[in-house]
Amino acid sequence: MAKIIIDAGHGGADGGAQGNGILEKELTLKISEYMYDLFKDLGIPVTMTRTSDETISPTERVERVLGPYGNSSDVIVISNHINAGGEGFSYHC
């Protein structure tokens, strides 16, 4: 069975994009928490790189991605980011 790591982009001192009163770091965390709950309810092994508004260095982020399940072909990493542009935000993962 696949195992999933959900990476809520940005966090802490790194707010990411912002516009219309929306901070990327807050929205990526909410989206990631929603996804986590969904996968958990389906019985899929899942973990998150962060569960609060904290600053994570690039090195620490990689450690949190690799730590729970290692680096094998049955691990799926979903990194949530939202970009600001012309008319507002766009979502990709």
**Where do the domains of the chain lie?**
3-92
Both tokens of residue 4?
A: 């999933």
The answer to whether residues 83 and 90 touch, using CB atoms and an 8 Å cutoff, is yes
pLDDT in tens, 3-51: 999 999 999 999 999 888 889 999 999 999 999 999 999 999 999 999 9
Flag whether the pTM goes above 0.85: yes
Assigned CATH topology for domain 3-92:
Aminopeptidase (3.40.630)
Q: How confident is the model at residue 87 (pLDDT cuts 50, 70, 90)?
A: low
Supply the Cα-derived Rg of the chain in whole angstroms: 14
Query: For 20, what's the count of Cα atoms within 13 Å in the CB-facing half-sphere?
Result: 10
**Cα 86 to Cα 17: distance, rounded to the nearest angstrom:** 12
pLDDT of residue 21: 84
Q: Please state the separation of Cα 70 from the chain's center in Å.
A: 17
Residue 57 has pLDDT above 70, yes or no: yes
Task: Tell me the H-state helices in the chain.
Answer: 24-41, 58-66
